[in-house]
Structure 1
Amino acid sequence: MWERLGHKPAIALAGWPTVDETLLVADSVIAVIQINGKIKERLEVSPTISDAELEAQALAHPTIAKELAGATINKIITRAPKLVNIVI
């Protein structure tokens, strides 16, 4: 059957495919934005984003800005590229 499909070497003699390492790297990851430990939003970001950049994107997001309107931020915990937790 293998030969009928157009493959020349016998399947028992065929080698393993080679791995392309560039395809194993993620182009983007999902970062979770929490307020007081509750998930409010998710952002698609680069896996190489810094803590400061992720924090800025989270605070600039319209949903988060609306939730934080008039609130005092006590602490921001950022673990790039996966998490931003805003404690109010």
Structure 2
Amino acid sequence: MVENKAPVFSKSDYLSAAAAAKKYGTDKLTAAQIMHEQFKRGTKILTKYGSRPMITIDPLVHSKTKDGFPAYRLHPLADEKFKELLAKEK
């Protein structure tokens, strides 16, 4: 019998603003602004196992990272949605 379990993501799977900027070819400020806006809106992504928040805050980094950007983290399954938002921004 095969069980369908939701994938478990580790902390390293979630992208920071700097990592998202590098992955999607934009600057950190633009990535951080998009993440901040989506966090304030409470944007969710639909997955096979239900809805999940698109942007979360890293609880171990209190408010900002050492480079001054908020400690937002992008969900690993939010690639397509983030690409759409980035295209609208440009």
TM-score past 0.5 threshold? no
- 1 or 2, which has the higher helix percentage? 2
Q: TM-score, normalised by structure 1?
A: 0.30
- 1 or 2, which has the higher strand percentage? 1
- Point out the structure with max Rg over C-alpha: 1
